[in-house]
Each structure stands twice: as C-alpha cells, then as structure tokens.
Amino acid sequence: MEELRFMCLNDDPQHGVAKNPVQWAHLCPLLFQELESRSCRGHKVMISATALTVNLPVFAAGGPITSTRWRPPSRAGRAERCGSALSTSVQPLFEPGGALGALHPGEPGRLKHKAMMLAEVFQRSSSNVEGRHGSLSSRNHELRGLDHPRKRACLTAVHNFLRMRPDGTTAAERFFGQKLRSMFAMILEAVEIPPLRPSVRRDEPEGRLQGGRVAAVMIEALKVSSDRANSMDTLHGLLGMPALLLWCCVVFTALSSVLLALEVLLRGVRAALQRRRLQRRTQARTGSFSDAYDDPEEGRRMPPLQPPAMEYHTYLGFIPKASVTTEGYCTNRYHFRYAEDFPVHKAPHELRIFITGGSKAWGAGVTQGTLYTQEMEASFQRAYPTVCTRVICAAGTAYCSVQERIMVENHIAPLAPDYIVMFSGRNDCFFGYVGRDIRQEQDYFGYRRRIHPDEHASDPSYDEYGLKLHYLVAVLRSRWQRAGQAPPGARASVPPARVVDILRDNIHSVSDLAKRQQCTVLFYLGASIFCTAKRLSPWEQSIVARGAKHIPGFPAYNRQVYSMLRTVLPRDAQENGYLFVDGDEAIQAEERSVFVDNTHISDRGYRLVAQHLFQALDPYVRQQTTSRYSGSSAHR
C-alpha cells in the first residue's frame, strides 16, 4: 500500500484485538499481507481506535527494526513511515527466519483469522459503488462496521430509492435514467394486507368500537388534536407580550371594579341599617326619639351612641384625639372639647372651670353649639363681664372616676384650674355591674385587644377599619376562629359598697390635689333613668322596659349604688372639703322627655344641667371674683 493515513489500536472486543504490544506486533504484519492480497494497493485504509498511545513496532523486511513508544505523528511523518514499511519486500512470515517464525505451531491459524476479520472491516472495495460503502463505513464507524447484511441492504435501498438531491432525483432515477415507482407503493402491492374487520352494527352499544370504527375514531382524534394544536398556536400568537400586558390590565381593572363595588355596597348597607335603626327609634309606639329634643335635628347630626375619634393613651387608656373639627364637635390641642387653644398660663382676669366625666359629661347627643359647657360659659360671661370665664369640657367617652383622677393629675392641674367638676357616677356603677374593678382594668375601646390580639376573641369594630372589606374579612375570620368554642362566662358584679368606696377614694385624691392648688372640687352625680324622681314620659318608660330586657339586673343594681351614693357623699363632702350636687334635681320638674336612651340626655336635658351647674357654682364664683377683683365691678 502506498499510503496509510492513520494507524491506532482497535480496542473493540467484537474483533478481539487487545491492547497488547506483543499481540499487535504479531497481528500487524498479517493484516498488511491480507490487505495486499486483496489488491488494496493504491487505496486508503484507515485503522482507528480510542487509544492514543501504544507500543507500535515498525516492521521492515524480515522483522521489527525498532520498538518505540508511539504517539500519533504528524500527517507527513505517518505517510513517510508507513510508506517505507510497506515498500520493503517481506519474506514469508511463518517460515524459519521470518518475522513470525518463532511462534507456537497453533498461533499462525488464529492470527490469520483475526487478520482476515480486520481486513473485512477496513477494506474499501474498488467497485463502482465504492462511495456508498465508504459512506456507510463512515456513518456507522462508531459501530465498528456493518456486520449484518440485512441492515446494509436496507440502508442501500433507502440510499438508492428514497434520498433525494436538491433537484428532486434519487440515485436509482439517475442510474436508470427514468422515474421509478414509489418504493412504498411497490411494497404495498407485493405484501398481502389482511382486510379490515366489519364495522359494528348500529344496534350495538356505542362504546364497542371495532375494526373500521376504531380507525375512524383514531383519525377523528388526530384531526381534533391537530385543530387543538392550531388553536393553541393561535392563542399563543394572541398572548404575545403586548397582548399579555393588555390582558393583565383588563383583569386588574375588572378586579378593582369588583372590589370597589363591594366596598360601596358594604358601606351603603351599613348606612341603611343605621338609618333604619334610627327611624325605628324615632317612630316607636310608646313615644318618639325626637320627643326628648327641642331641636330633633340635633340628635340626628350628633347621635348619642357615636363616640368621638379616640386614640391610645399610656395612662388613660384612651383619649379623644387632639385638634379635631367635625360637624358635631371640635377638640383643641389639650384633647378637650373646647374650640380655643388657650395658653397654659392663665391671664390675670381669667377664670377656668374644667368638667370631667364620661360620655354624658362629654355631651354625647348634642353638637358643639348647644353643648352645656357653652351655655354655662355664656351665663358666666353675662354675670361677670369683666372676667374671662372659660368652662372647658375635659370629659371622655366611657371614662370612670379613675380616669377622671388621672385626667386631673396629668392634664388639668398644669393648666391652673379654679374649679373642677366631676360629672360622674353612672359609669362606675355600670362597670361594677359587669364585674370590672376600674382600678385594675378599663379598656372600653379594646386597645389591649389590638396590642394583644391572642388574649381576646371579641369581634372587630367597624370604626377600626378604613377599608370595610378588610373589616368584613376580619369579622368572618374571627367568627371562624371562635366556632365551636364555649362563650366566656359572665363575671360576678362588684359589690355596691365596693363601687362606692372606689368612687369616694378617687374624689378624695382629686380634692387633695385641688386643695394644694387652691382649687374647688364639685362632684356632680349624673342623673340616671333607673333611679330618678322625675315623672317618666311614655318614651322614657319604653327605655326602662328595654333596659330591663337587654341588661337584666342593672336597673336594680343602679338604684342600689345610687341610693348609697346619695347617702354617703353629702356627708363625706362636708367632712373632706368638696361640694356635692345631685344632678337628678335638674330634671325632676321636667314633664317632657329628657333621656334619649338609658344613659344620655338630649339638648333639653343639657340645658337644664347647664342652668343647674351655673346655680351651684355661681355663689362660689361671685365670692372669688369679689375678693380677687374687689376694685372692679365683678357682678352686674
């Protein structure tokens, strides 16, 4: 052979060639001799393998001349070496003196067989289809040749009759010079295909599909799958990036519209229920809600059960928000229900009267213009025009006597008060009825529940949530968490004597502080509808009946506590230097309705309270202004 392009060690076990230099040294001369005997001279022979480094002897005439560590040489070196090795005349290998003459007598046959196998693998025929065999050998090189004749025949048929050039012709058409029939058509004619089974009769169940119906169903399924794929392609085209963004915007807008509609609906239903409740109260059979008002619109603008905006306070628990102005009320920077932000230091001709208490002292049920403290202040201004008298409402919704004491100590005392009126009594009685010791706990607005939500399981408050949908979700979640739990048991009421002692101790604390500041304290016992000397109107009688139904036991408890207060406090006031006034005296002579519910009074009732308080304080104010401003006309 003139040229040997590549020579490496074949390690495929199919041909039994081991990576053994000695075995290769014995086999290589036989392989070359076999290839020469097949007239392969002048053609390319490629021997390749995975090993890159072997001990490959180079043969010359008569045997090996060198034995070196062989690595793949350059193309020029390989050609030169192999050409010199093959161009040398080689004497018979197995003869004495030959290259393989020293082998065992049984080895020559085995080596010749292996050499013939390798020659079959690596030989390329010189026939007119040599290119096809070379192509098959190259494409199936990793399989170490094509040992199966049927596979080679199939690949040859595919090459000749199926593979087309770019001009659309196959190898067979070019060879025969005419267009041949389809190979598959020929196969269909030559192969006998059994006929289809008869279709299922119409009267048989629909699910028993056989034969042709099965094929029809499969074809229909393929059509449906194809249509579905086309639909998915169309949808994929529609859902491009711009279209996807548009779809997202549409979905977001629709969702926002639905949530907004639900929010408006929830607020509307809430407002409708409140109007219906108010209408039911104003159109009661036994009287009317507006009967207690001189101006019925006053109660509609400022409902008694609507508390002011509150906020958390470290010592009071809760306090009205400062500097708030609404249609019904306004607060100043000191959290008082007073329109003016007066200075801390008092002017020379200024008199300050502070009134503490709960929602009744706050003036729940009337607007700022008809507040009883406004009427008291106007009365004092008319009586003492040279004195700037301020009557300041320092009350808070649901305040008890403990919170009044803290309010006086922390907020009122630094403002130099002249008179402190504790408009109280009813809330202490109510908290004692529900079993609360007001010296230990008073969390009417549930701020502790907000700070420690796990300790309390009460329903959320509507006013706590700006977004009412959030409130609805919170209510549903609270109801779901409390489902199956036993309701908490009612606590026993605090003994009435204990309630009276706590109230009296708080009055003493405020009185002692006031004495140090040369201030006068007046305790004004707020009137209660359950223990009043007033002749009740039909509307007020209905309030008492509803109270006995909704808060059973409280009317009797209220009467017992108030009876003890009216007995103990007048004598205690004389002994400890403070004033006591029973607020029931202000409404005893009024035959018309005064109460709007079991706690609060109307503008008519507050007007009576303002006159009553002015009459109670006027002697002391006259005496103080006369002694302090003796050089001026204090009283008109």
**pLDDT for the residue numbered 185:** 76
Instruction: Name the β-bridge partners of 355.
Output: 393, 421
Query: For residues 515 and 64, which has the higher predicted lDDT (pLDDT)?
Result: 515
- Quick: pLDDT tens for 410-446: 999 999 999 999 999 999 999 999 998 888 887 777 7
Is 381 a residue whose pLDDT tops 80?
yes
**pLDDT for the residue numbered 560:** 96
The Cα 502–Cα 521 span in angstroms is 17
Q: What is the mean pLDDT of residues 519-533?
A: 95
Contact (Cβ atoms closer than 8 angstroms) between residue 33 and residue 72? no
Nearest to 523 by CA among 461, 480, 569: 569
For the chain, the domains span 4-133, 308-448+495-628
- Quick: pLDDT tens for 207-251: 444 555 555 655 666 566 556 556 656 555 555 567 777 778 888
> pLDDT category, 457, cuts 50, 70, 90?
low
- Quick: pLDDT tens for 114-154: 777 777 666 544 444 456 666 666 666 655 555 567 777 78
Q: How many residues does the chain have?
A: 636
The Cα 424–Cα 358 span in angstroms is 7
> pLDDT category, 346, cuts 50, 70, 90?
very high
Is 571 a residue whose pLDDT tops 70?
yes
- Quick: pLDDT tens for 295-331: 877 766 666 667 788 888 888 888 999 999 988 899 9
- Own/partner pairs, 597-600, CB within 8 angstroms, 24+ separation: 597/304, 597/305, 597/543, 598/529, 598/530, 598/543, 598/544, 598/546, 598/547, 598/551, 599/304, 599/359, 599/360, 599/426, 599/529, 600/304, 600/359, 600/360, 600/364, 600/365
Can you list the positions of beta strands (E) in 348-451? 350-357, 388-393, 419-424
**pLDDT for the residue numbered 296:** 76
Is 504 a residue whose pLDDT tops 90?
yes
Coil, helix or strand at residue 337: strand
Q: In a 10 Å sphere around its CB, with 0-12 CB exposed, 13-18 middle and 19+ buried, how is residue 263 labelled?
A: middle
Nearest to 528 by CA among 616, 438, 605: 605
The Cα 430–Cα 493 span in angstroms is 9
Q: What is the mean pLDDT of residues 520-541?
A: 94
Report whether CATH 3.40.50.1110 matches the domain 308-448+495-628: yes
The Cα 503–Cα 432 span in angstroms is 11
| CA dist 221 → 208, 217, 228 (Å) | 17, 6, 10
